[in-house]
Chains A and B, each alone.
Chain A
């Protein structure tokens, strides 16, 4: 009898599950139920609506959705501005994600140690998150203004920071980095808190230098948090919307070179009332991010340390 049962427990993952696993599964379903039901009602219903809309022509004086098959996909795919906006978004992400994460990590590590004025620093780095968007926009305009701006005044230069198509994307990326540091830092501090202090204690007894401790303890143990931030920030940067236009005027010639995919979507769906076309852009973006995510999730298994 015994060997038979032992075999049964081995083949659990194939067909039959032990009662323990059954009860675990029941609990798991119960636990994810509120979130999944909420997501389906609040988010997936609209997402499916959007996907359906991408096959439709809309916006003609309240006539509703008229099915037109793949025509939207065709016109989105051949439009040069689509690919330009994708390229703009990627360029933005290439600035925001790495710099935003590295600076935030340095700050978080420095502020995780006991030091003078730690709470004050943490509060200061939090302030940009709640600062009035109008004030943020005003300050950046003040910095970047070609004639009266602070940057040009300091360097004695005449650079058109936000209207030169070659520089504008960098200037916008800098604002992106600036505004995301606080968020990333909060997440990093949270992750650092979860690293048990005795690891460092042991390392110190072994005489490891601080830098060495950082490399051999902080980096691997923080890697799940880091991966989480990389993943969510890539998604966040690729769906960036309003940031680009905080400092840009309507007459800005560089507009074409910085507008993101979501902004283009907004232009079509909200401004022009062409919801079908806008929805198609969203589907393109969704597919693009999904592919990236699958690649990242594969990489996760190799890069992230699991205990």
Chain B
């Protein structure tokens, strides 16, 4: 078995006693024996490989180590892809808007999306502009929310991936009860609240500790370009911002655009506000 263990006397003694060690379970010697035996094996293996001619050598290595070769190869490819992807991926959004139950296509790459990106001049290679228009649920009934679409919507809003949402009026009133839409009378939304005071949509939250009075959660945008130009809903359309949004200013800007901006030039006061924010941060 161990043909070449005469080279190093110290180790060979251990190797020789390894059979006894197996029975007596002498901790130290058996471990050394195991190690030296492994080293021995490795040396033998290398010698064997070196002795073969090139073609057979490759054949031999493949036959015995194909699992390792494929495994390591795969790990290397995956690892480098993973590194590349995680360093180059776009993680942040300029803005994300969900249009549930939309009747026309206003998702990523649609006309609305292109128009808005063009208007704002957002660099989509740095951050994303996400418009999601293929979710279908009905918040006015419990069973209307018992579907994967609604779960997806909740995940998108609660993780802050999506900043704003549009829905029909009665749907938005029902949706607002859950507290997932921001209270427009709260501090971060002060400006929107003041500007669109006459358009507010209210709903009474489930959480009576928060408020037993109706809370402003949405802004009626039934006369916006979403309805006139893109016809995403039939009767009414309400715009609301998610409670977990990190881009409230961007959401406000989108609101201004759909109501006033049209495809015309950039409204000067918005541009001014935008540059002020930039210098602030």
Q: When the two chains form their complex, are residues A59 and B142 in contact, meaning their CB atoms are under 8 A apart? A: no
Q: Tell me the A residues contacting B by CB distance below 8 Å.
A: 2, 5, 8-9, 16, 18-20, 23, 57, 59-62, 242, 245, 248-250, 263, 266-267, 270-274
Give bound CA distance, A60 to B215, whole Å.
Answer: 11
Interface of chain B residues 169 through 213 with chain A (CB within 8 A)? 177-183, 186, 205-207, 209-210
Write the B114-152 contact mask toward A (1 if CB under 8 angstroms, else 0).
000000000000000000000000000111111000110
Q: When the two chains form their complex, are residues B207 and A250 in contact, meaning their CB atoms are under 8 A apart? A: no
With A19-B34, A245-B146, A250-B141 given, is the CB distance from A60 to B25 under 8 Å?
no
Q: Which of A2, A18, A263 contacts B27 (CB 8 A)?
A: A18
10 more contacts with CB within 8 A, not counting A60-B210, A62-B244, are: A8-B25, A9-B25, A18-B25, A60-B205, A60-B207, A61-B215, A245-B143, A271-B146, A273-B178, A273-B180
Q: How far is the CB of B94 from chain A (nearest CB, A)?
A: 20
Offer 5 A-B interface pairs, CB within 8 angstroms, sorted by A: A18-B27, A59-B206, A61-B215, A266-B146, A271-B150
Q: When the two chains form their complex, are residues B178 and A59 in contact, meaning their CB atoms are under 8 A apart? A: yes
Q: How far is the CB of B142 from chain A (nearest CB, A)?
A: 6
Query: Residue B24 at the A interface, CB < 8 A?
Result: yes
Q: How far is the CB of A28 from chain B (nearest CB, A)?
A: 17
User: Across the interface, which residues of B come within 8 angstroms of A249, CB to CB?
Assistant: 143
User: Across the interface, which residues of A come within 8 angstroms of B145, CB to CB?
Assistant: 270-271
User: Across the interface, which residues of B come within 8 angstroms of A62, CB to CB?
Assistant: 179-180, 182, 242-244
Q: Which of A20, A263, A273 contacts B179 (CB 8 A)?
A: A273
Chain B's closest residue to A267 (CB) is B142
The 6 closest A-B pairs by CB, nearest first: A62-B243, A273-B178, A250-B143, A60-B210, A18-B25, A250-B141
Q: When the two chains form their complex, are residues A273 and B206 in contact, meaning their CB atoms are under 8 A apart? A: yes
A/B pair count, beta carbons within 8 Å: 75
Give bound CA distance, A245 to B142, whole Å.
Answer: 11
User: Across the interface, which residues of B come within 8 angstroms of A242, CB to CB?
Assistant: 146
User: Across the interface, which residues of B come within 8 angstroms of A266, CB to CB?
Assistant: 146
Chain A's closest residue to B245 (CB) is A62
Interface of chain B residues 196 through 245 with chain A (CB within 8 A)? 205-207, 209-210, 215, 242-244
Which residue, A23, A61, A266, A272, has most C-beta atoms of chain B within 10 A? A61
Q: When the two chains form their complex, are residues A60 and B34 in contact, meaning their CB atoms are under 8 A apart? A: no
Give bound CA distance, A118 to B151, whole Å.
Answer: 41
Q: How far is the CB of B186 from chain A (nearest CB, A)?
A: 7
Q: Which of A8, A19, A245, A270 contacts B150 (CB 8 A)?
A: A270
Give bound CA distance, A250 to B215, whole Å.
Answer: 27
Which residue, B30, B141, B151, B243, has most C-beta atoms of chain A within 10 A? B243
Q: Which of B24, B154, B182, B205 contacts A5 (CB 8 A)?
A: B24
Query: Residue B26 at the A interface, CB < 8 A?
Result: yes
Q: How far is the CB of B263 from chain A (nearest CB, A)?
A: 33
User: Across the interface, which residues of B come within 8 angstroms of A271, CB to CB?
Assistant: 142, 145-146, 150, 178
Query: Residue B105 at the A interface, CB < 8 A?
Result: no
User: Across the interface, which residues of B come within 8 angstroms of A263, CB to CB?
Assistant: 146
Q: When the two chains form their complex, are residues A19 and B141 in contact, meaning their CB atoms are under 8 A apart? A: no
Query: Residue B11 at the A interface, CB < 8 A?
Result: no
Q: How far is the CB of A149 from chain B (nearest CB, A)?
A: 20
Give bound CA distance, A61 to B207, whole Å.
Answer: 9
Give bound CA distance, A2 to B210, whole Å.
Answer: 77
Give bound CA distance, A106 to B82, whole Å.
Answer: 47
Chain A's closest residue to B174 (CB) is A271
Query: Residue B31 at the A interface, CB < 8 A?
Result: yes
User: Across the interface, which residues of A come within 8 angstroms of B154, CB to CB?
Assistant: 270
Give bound CA distance, A16 to B26, whole Å.
Answer: 12
Q: Which of B26, B142, B151, B206 contacts A250 (CB 8 A)?
A: B142
Chain B's closest residue to A60 (CB) is B210
Q: When the two chains form their complex, are residues A61 and B205 in contact, meaning their CB atoms are under 8 A apart? A: yes
